[in-house]
């Protein structure tokens, strides 16, 4: 009888140990959100300069063979028709991974600085709030550049449409700041990542290596000559100096064809109550839980 009782206690202990281990593994498992589902543009809004919201002029943004493509085969000239594809949901603390490559030739009418040039907009204003003739949203652009076959040309740089940041503890009003990445020529796939922690710190990574870090992004005019593109109106001027804590993700169309085969996001904001099934050990800031609230 005593032996049976001891065996039952051991079995119960073993079962609890297994459950605890499973729960911990589940809490540690990263749950990446596939912003691009590989099939269509579900969940995304389109805004192209001079056109109404969700008017996909020239079928600029399309999905073919499980690839999200920015294409210009139905255009005659670019005519400053800058385009952006916005994910439907804003985020504040997150990691985003993108795999991209440049293909083909630049559309006629694009500026020389648009050659093999695109970007991922972070903390962007919403597609719905962008003016009809506005070229770029107020945002932080992780600029994607392809090599030109000679010389250095870094990628995962920072451009600041309607924003400014701090680097090395000092405010900088430069519009574009180069990363320390190597140059990527040709049509090879390149993996970039951004780690975005609200308005505290943001890191850009290329192929797993950190190539740029900046802090404390704020709304404001970075360089006056760019004002015609950003359309910093009275509404945004009133917000000048306001910390940029969250926003939307957007993919850019700047006259050179580009393709994306992965756009995924890991939310770092969520339930931090270890007793909740939705708890994740990698969350860095708490959100409301539906199983007991914040710890």
* One domain, residues 40 and 63: yes
Range of the domain at 241: 33-269
**Does residue 19 share a domain with residue 53?**
no
Q: Give a yes or no: residue 274 inside a domain.
A: no
Give a yes or no: residue 284 inside a domain.
no
- The backbone torsions φ and ψ at residue 87, rounded to the nearest 5 degrees and listed phi first, read -75, 145
210 and 188 within one domain:
yes
Tell me the CATH number at 227: 2.60.120.560
Q: Are residues 26 and 42 in the same domain?
A: no
Rounded Cα–Cα distance for residues 150 and 285 (Å): 44
| Host H or E run for residue 34 | strand 33-34
Q: Tell me if 118 is assigned to some domain.
A: yes
Query: Residue 183's closest CA among 216, 148, 217?
Result: 148
Instruction: Give the phi and the psi of residue 40 in degrees, each rounded to 5.
Output: -155, -170
Query: In this structure, is residue 280 part of a structural domain?
Result: no
pLDDT for 3 equals 54
Domain annotation covers residue 107? yes
Q: Do 22 and 90 have their domain in common? A: no
| Residue 282 counted as domain residue | no
Strand partners, 219: 163
Same structural domain for residues 135 and 261?
Answer: yes
**Are 2 and 106 found together in one domain?**
no
Q: Is residue 168 part of a domain?
A: yes
pLDDT at 22: 42
Q: Angle 147-175-182 (CA atoms, 0-180°, nearest 5)?
A: 25
Q: Give the integer Cα–Cα distance in Å for 129 and 143.
A: 22
Residues 6 or more apart in contact with residue 109 via CB below 8 angstroms: 77, 78, 79, 255
Tens digit of each residue's pLDDT, the chain (295 residues): 555 555 454 444 433 443 344 445 689 999 999 999 999 999 999 999 999 999 999 999 999 999 999 999 999 999 999 999 999 999 999 999 999 999 999 999 999 999 999 999 999 999 999 999 999 999 999 999 999 999 999 999 999 999 999 999 999 999 999 999 999 999 999 999 999 999 999 999 999 999 999 999 999 876 554 555 555 566 777 888 999 999 999 999 999 999 999 999 999 999 999 999 999 999 999 998 877 544 4
Q: Are residues 1 and 45 in the same domain?
A: no
With residue 28 as reference, give the H or E element that holds it.
helix 2-28
pLDDT at residue 293 in the model: 46
Q: Are residues 74 and 156 in the same domain?
A: yes
* 3-state DSSP assignment of residue 209: strand
**d(C-alpha 103, C-alpha 126), whole Å:** 28
And the tokens for 259? Answer: 């393709």
Q: What are phi and psi of 122, to 5 degrees?
A: -110, 150
Q: What percent of the chain has pLDDT over 90?
A: 81
CA distances from 97 to 12, 62, 80, 142 (A): 43, 20, 28, 11
Nearest-angstrom CA–CA distance, 210 and 232: 31
Q: Mind giving me the DSSP string for 51-77?
A: S-TT--GGG-EEEETTEEEE--TT-S-
Residue 112 sits in the same domain as residue 139: yes
What is the domain count for the chain? 2
Please check whether residue 281 lies inside any domain of the structure.
Answer: no
Considering the domain architecture, whether residues 25 and 42 belong to the same structural domain is answered as no
């Amino acid at each position: 009888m005593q032996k049976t009782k001891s065996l039952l206690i051991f079995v119960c202990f073993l079962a609890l140990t297994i459950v605890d281990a499973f729960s911990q593994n589940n809490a540690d498992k990263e749950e990446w959100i596939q912003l691009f589902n590989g099939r269509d543009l579900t969940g995304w809004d389109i805004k192209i300069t001079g056109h109404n919201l969700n008017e996909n002029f020239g079928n600029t943004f399309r999905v073919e063979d499980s690839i999200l493509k920015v294409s210009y085969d139905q255009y005659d000239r670019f005519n400053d028709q800058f385009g952006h594809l916005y994910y439907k949901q804003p985020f504040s603390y997150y990691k985003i991974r993108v795999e991209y490559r440049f293909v083909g030739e630049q559309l006629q009418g694009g500026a020389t600085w648009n050659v093999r040039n695109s970007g991922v907009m972070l903390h962007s204003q919403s597609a719905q709030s962008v003016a009809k003739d506005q070229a770029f949203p107020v945002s932080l652009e992780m600029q994607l550049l392809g090599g030109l076959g000679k010389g250095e040309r870094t990628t995962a740089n920072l451009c600041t449409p309607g924003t400014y940041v701090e680097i090395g503890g000092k405010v900088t009003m430069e519009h574009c700041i180069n990363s320390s990445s190597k140059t990527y020529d040709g049509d090879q796939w390149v993996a970039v990542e951004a780690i975005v922690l609200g308005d505290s710190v943001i890191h850009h990574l290329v192929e797993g290596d950190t190539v740029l870090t900046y802090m404390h992004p704020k709304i404001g005019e970075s360089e006056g000559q760019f004002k015609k593109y950003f359309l910093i109106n009275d509404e945004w001027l009133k917000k000048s100096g306001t910390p940029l804590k969250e926003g939307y993700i957007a993919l850019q169309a700047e006259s050179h064809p580009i393709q994306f085969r992965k756009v995924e996001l890991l939310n770092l904001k969520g339930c931090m109550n270890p007793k909740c099934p939705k708890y994740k050990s990698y969350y860095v800031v708490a959100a409301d839980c539906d199983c007991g609230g914040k710890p």
